[in-house]
Amino acid sequence: MALQGSTTDSRGITSASSYAKVVALRIDYNSKKALAQVNIYHDSTASANDKEPVEVRNYMWTSVAGDLDTFDNVFGIAALDAVSKNPVQQAYDDIKTLAEFSGWTDV
């Protein structure tokens, strides 16, 4: 499970086959917060060969909607039951709605 698309890293290097992978997902149901760490690799081969990511991005869900949906709409038990998905898939689905991942595909 990952996303693939074009991105330009912080050094200005563009890769048409960048590979984004959720490598950590922490969910706290008491405080209704979730944090996903997404590693961006040059391509899927770099990820498969355990190379260092070219960029690390963190995304947070809380009870207040922002660029991402609210915690309850993405990770709440009712939301997960309604779509029969696991929390990692839910994170991918919501992250894909961000402008920075526009045009990226599921791989």
Secondary structure E strands in the chain: 3-8, 14-28, 33-41, 55-61, 105-106
Asked, for residue 34, whether it belongs to a domain, the answer is yes
Q: What is the dihedral of CA 56, 26, 95, 49, to 10 degrees?
A: 40
| Whether the model pTM is above 0.85 | yes
Asked, for residue 93, whether it belongs to a domain, the answer is yes
Asked, for residue 104, whether it belongs to a domain, the answer is no
Summarised one tens digit per residue, pLDDT across range 85-100 is 789 999 999 999 999 9
Domain that holds residue 94: 3-99
Asked, for residue 81, whether it belongs to a domain, the answer is yes
Count the domains in the chain.
1
Asked, for residue 82, whether it belongs to a domain, the answer is yes
Output the pLDDT for position 13: 83
Asked, for residue 77, whether it belongs to a domain, the answer is yes
Output the pLDDT for position 3: 97
**CB-CB neighbours of 62 under 10 Å:** 15
Asked, for residue 105, whether it belongs to a domain, the answer is no
Summarised one tens digit per residue, pLDDT across range 32-88 is 999 999 999 999 999 999 999 999 999 999 988 777 888 999 998 888 888 777 899
